[in-house]
Structure 1
Amino acid sequence: MSPRTRKNGGLIIHIIITAYMFLGIAIICDEYFVPSLEMICDALSLAEDVAGATFMAAGSSAPELATSVIAVFVAKDDIGISGVIGSAVFNIMFVISVCALFAGQVISLNWWPLIRDSTFYCLSICALLLTIYDEDVTWYESVFLLLLYGLYIFMMYHNTRLEAWANTLNVPFKTATREEKSSLFGTKPVAPVTEAAAVRGDVEGAGVEGQVQAEEDTCTPLLGSCEREGRITHTDGEEVPKPPPPTEVEAATTKSMAPEMKDDDYSPWEIPVGVCERLYWGLSLPLVALHHVTTPDCRRPRFRRWYLLTFFMSMVWIAAYSYLMVWMITVIGFTLGIRDTIMGLTLVAVGVSAPDALSSLCVAKQGFGDMAVSNAIGSNVFDILLCLGLPWFLRTAIVYPGSLVPVESRGLMYSTISLFSTVIFLIVATHLNGWKLDKKYGVVLMIWYLIFMVFASLYELNVFSNLNPPQCPSNY
């Protein structure tokens, strides 16, 4: 479109496409991406905080990686850096705020994952500051970012030993460990059962002595008991009242990270009941049909072992949607005379961080608070070190060896420095709130996010000082 056509109403098409790409990212993340991540983490038996800081963070940051590649090789502007900075603030404040507001329960947090990821996030911010300080990025600076991310992965590999050592420290914000959390919610951790113990019937905590007897289909042989009309009969003949079913909180704390399975006969072509449901179904049908044909749903029994292909195809679609979204947002900002850095801090950051928000909220509703927080903060480490470091390395060392990547906006330096305030505020607010995710905590984080974005935008608009040169006029 010509500038005149866009200014006379054609820009609406770009806005509609942008919104539709937001919807596409939301659908592919909710229906395919998050379930595949959960199955990967479940298959590898990863701890919830390690899974959130590695696989979930890397996967849900696919839009940021696509945006950075586009910014370095296509747009050749600062929208990649500003998008990463805006996404970092969005993840720290908005995503965790949404988890606290809509998790449906009060979730206790362990101090170690938050302090661990926040510390490495601060190191990542320092590395970014050193990289963009001279307003040019060289190949060895990009290599430094990639090596730092390799160190982060190495630390996560030895997380169990580090956490055991950290829990021996006399820290002022000592919180419950994973085993202690189970008792807080009224559940007991399940001890592993050996085959010999199962035969003998002497499982710890079952109160069974002697040989286990198998009775009817309602028997639980490993526990040496059978259910009859609301009562439990042990193998020794003693009858005790049947315990009540677990509460929602108890169920959340004992639930596996594996997603809920669908039937093989599930069809996306069925028209739902209700006016709003039908409108949403009709609007999203092209996207749903595209995903249904190209991406296997690992929640179905026949595709259960295909979760790696689901993960890969989800990444492909997220990157494609991100490319179109960045294209449209760049045109919108250019037509309206809004700087790319402001569009990156706001619209691009919100759009590319949609997977982080959705995946963190999904696991928070299941009671995995540490996983949700680690995903949000771990995504920022991935964004800074890999989403920026990898495209910079490809350009300066492989595609154009010896070249430089310019950083034009000096306001990004101040925005990067102010990222430290978000980390400090998050830790202080969490400690004062008793290391819990609740609605009061969520409201406070949301207010701080809005304040930060207002000041960052004012920096880019040269309200406080003349940080950025004016944009050049163009006929395109």
Structure 2
Amino acid sequence: MGPAARKDGGLILHIIVAVYTFLGLAIVCDDYFVSSLDRICEELKLSPDVAGATFMAAGSSAPELATVVIGVFFAKDDIGVSGVIGSAVFNIMFVISVCALCAGATLHLNWYPMVRDCIFYSLAILMMLVSIYNESITWIESFTMLVMYGAYCVVLHYNARLERWAQTLPVPCRVQAPEEESALVSYRHLEEDRSRRPSYTSPQQSMDKQQLSFSTTNQGQSPIQQEYSTDMEKGPTPQQQELQQPTGGPPPVPPPPAAIPPTTDYYKPKDYNVPDVSPLVMPTDAGMWEKISWGVTLPIHAFCRATMPDCRKEKWRHWYPFTFLVSMVWISFYSYIMVWMITIIGSTLGIPDTVMGLTFMAAGVSVPDALSSLAVVKEGYGDMAVSNAVGSNVFDILICLGLPWFMQTAIINPGSTVNVYSKGLTYSTLSLLSTVVFLVVTTHLNGWKLDKKYGVILM
């Protein structure tokens, strides 16, 4: 379709196709990608924040990778780079804001995962700033970005050990949630976890109850029993006195009995309630709008059913690696079409590629991040949603930019450079550092809580 035809109304068709690709991304992410990600994290026994910063971040960043590949190898423009920068702002502010507004409860965040991811994110921003400042990318700069992501993965591998060490540091952001509240919002299986956890009665209250019990029941006891009761009334033992020592944090919780299995601290996916009716069957008792929606989404569901097993169902639950890979292919496909349409729309309206990438493109490629973060935050995993938003930005800069740049400068055309045409991207990159500072400061001032006030501020 030529420029004249697009200006005479053909642009509407491109807008419709772009919106349809948004819909395809939503269905693939919601029904296939997030469920396969759940199974992967369960099998690897990853903690929620590590799962969000690795597999969820990598999978939901497939659109960004596709846009950069298109920009580097085909379009030869800056729409991929500007899309990554714009989606970084979108993830930090909009995605976390939507999660806070739609969580349904106040979620308490652990300071360590956010600080960890923000440190690496800041280093990635500085590395990208150095790389694009002279408007050309060399293979050494792109290779350094890949090495930095390798270091990030090493830190995540030793995450549990590093977190235990970090919790001993006298940092000002060590805000602990009340035990009763954190027990309600940190786990999905609330009743199960509460039954596994010991009582949150403080040691002093527990001793008072024991003394009261022995003082009221030692009448009529044998001399040995009375002697035992007298010893209990003398006061707590040295071990009990150690439990009563103030530590500056919440009162220590005694360990559970050996017969009760300890509570797991890794991500456990929800039990999906998959409807028996296939999405390929038209609903007969639905209204006209539901039937129209079914007809519009039928091709998307048909292609998904033909290429991916639904690992939410019991018989397909072990097919999660295949579903994960194919869902990333579909995400990349829809992203390719979306980038194509948005590029044509911007060209027809006379909007520069950089502006389109920082705005419309950024919102489009961040759809998987928003959907996957929203899915886990509704289950009570606030740290996982935030780690996905920040960790996907680390993946976007170091892998989605570094990998195509390295392939172009070191493998396809050794010794060549990738040109960055817009000087304005340097100032846009600097603005990313301000979003990191704003996120951490706002979270700390809000008491490390994910609530509606926090969501409104970020929005």
TM-score calculated relative to the size of structure 1: 0.78
Where does structure 2 lack aligned partners over 5 or more consecutive residues?
199-264
Corresponding residue number in structure 1 for 2:218: none
Corresponding residue number in structure 2 for 1:4: 4
Q: Does 1:268 align with 2:274?
A: no
- Change over 3 Å in CA distance of 1:178–1:321 after alignment to 2: farther
Q: CA deviation at 1:266?
A: 4.0
Larger deviation: 151-160 or 265-274? 265-274
Q: CA deviation at 1:402?
A: 1.0
Q: Supply the AA of the counterpart residue of 2:45.
A: S
Q: Supply the AA of the counterpart residue of 2:291.
A: R
Corresponding residue number in structure 2 for 1:72: 72
Report if the CA contact (8 A) 1:65-1:383 is conserved.
Answer: yes
Corresponding residue number in structure 2 for 1:59: 59
- Change over 3 Å in CA distance of 1:13–1:183 after alignment to 2: closer
Corresponding residue number in structure 2 for 1:117: 117
Report if the CA contact (8 A) 2:342-2:356 is conserved.
Answer: yes
The DSSP-based 3-state class of the residue aligned with 1:361 is helix
Q: CA deviation at 1:292?
A: 1.1
The DSSP-based 3-state class of the residue aligned with 1:296 is coil
Equivalent-residue separation in structure 2 for 1:39 and 1:179 (angstroms)? 29
Report if the CA contact (8 A) 2:53-2:391 is conserved.
Answer: yes
Corresponding residue number in structure 1 for 2:383: 370
The DSSP-based 3-state class of the residue aligned with 2:196 is coil
Q: CA deviation at 1:181?
A: 6.4
1:417 to 430, 435, 443: 430
The DSSP-based 3-state class of the residue aligned with 1:388 is helix
Q: Does 1:344 align with 2:344?
A: no
Equivalent-residue separation in structure 1 for 2:105 and 2:154 (angstroms)? 33
Equivalent-residue separation in structure 1 for 2:338 and 2:89 (angstroms)? 20
Q: CA deviation at 1:281?
A: 1.5
Report which of the two has the higher share of helix: 2
Report if the CA contact (8 A) 2:99-2:373 is conserved.
Answer: yes
Report if the CA contact (8 A) 1:145-1:389 is conserved.
Answer: yes
Corresponding residue number in structure 2 for 1:256: 268
The structure with the largest alpha-carbon Rg is: 2
Corresponding residue number in structure 1 for 2:307: 294
Corresponding residue number in structure 2 for 1:94: 94
Corresponding residue number in structure 2 for 1:240: none
Report if the CA contact (8 A) 1:92-1:426 is conserved.
Answer: yes
Report if the CA contact (8 A) 1:26-1:354 is conserved.
Answer: yes
Instruction: Give CA-to-partner distance per residue, 1:269-291, whole Å, 9 cap, x none.
Output: 23262333222212111111111
- Change over 3 Å in CA distance of 1:364–1:268 after alignment to 2: same
Q: Supply the AA of the counterpart residue of 2:272.
A: E
Equivalent-residue separation in structure 1 for 2:296 and 2:44 (angstroms)? 37
Within 5 Å, give how 1:37-436 maps onto structure 2.
37-176=37-176, 182-183=182-183, 188=194, 190=196, 256-262=268-274, 266-271=278-283, 273-436=286-449
Instruction: Give CA-to-partner distance per residue, 1:194-240, whole Å, 9 cap, x none.
Output: xxxxxxxxxxxxxxxxxxxxxxxxxxxxxxxxxxxxxxxxxxxxxxx
Aligned residues: 386
Equivalent-residue separation in structure 1 for 2:180 and 2:428 (angstroms)? 39
Instruction: Give CA-to-partner distance per residue, 1:158-179, whole Å, 9 cap, x none.
Output: 0001100000011111133898
- Change over 3 Å in CA distance of 1:282–1:140 after alignment to 2: same
- Change over 3 Å in CA distance of 1:266–1:8 after alignment to 2: closer
Equivalent-residue separation in structure 1 for 2:64 and 2:195 (angstroms)? 38
Equivalent-residue separation in structure 2 for 1:372 and 1:255 (angstroms)? 12
Percent sequence identity over matched residues? 61
Equivalent-residue separation in structure 2 for 1:132 and 1:69 (angstroms)? 17
Instruction: Give CA-to-partner distance per residue, 1:369-426, whole Å, 9 cap, x none.
Output: 0000000000000000000000001111111111110011010000101111101111
Corresponding residue number in structure 1 for 2:451: 438
Q: Supply the AA of the counterpart residue of 1:164.
A: R
Q: Supply the AA of the counterpart residue of 1:334.
A: S
Q: Supply the AA of the counterpart residue of 1:391.
A: P
The DSSP-based 3-state class of the residue aligned with 2:415 is coil
Corresponding residue number in structure 2 for 1:455: none
Report if the CA contact (8 A) 1:35-1:259 is conserved.
Answer: no
Q: CA deviation at 1:12?
A: 0.9
Equivalent-residue separation in structure 2 for 1:274 and 1:112 (angstroms)? 49
Equivalent-residue separation in structure 2 for 1:303 and 1:178 (angstroms)? 40
Report if the CA contact (8 A) 1:89-1:419 is conserved.
Answer: yes
- Change over 3 Å in CA distance of 1:179–1:144 after alignment to 2: farther
Equivalent-residue separation in structure 2 for 1:178 and 1:309 (angstroms)? 41
- Change over 3 Å in CA distance of 1:73–1:303 after alignment to 2: same
Report if the CA contact (8 A) 2:21-2:335 is conserved.
Answer: yes
Equivalent-residue separation in structure 2 for 1:57 and 1:428 (angstroms)? 23
- Larger RCO, structure (CA 8 Å, separation 6 or more): 2
TM-score calculated relative to the size of structure 2: 0.81
- Change over 3 Å in CA distance of 1:321–1:255 after alignment to 2: closer
Equivalent-residue separation in structure 2 for 1:149 and 1:178 (angstroms)? 35
Corresponding residue number in structure 1 for 2:219: none
Q: Supply the AA of the counterpart residue of 1:257.
A: P
- Change over 3 Å in CA distance of 1:184–1:122 after alignment to 2: same
- Change over 3 Å in CA distance of 1:189–1:411 after alignment to 2: farther
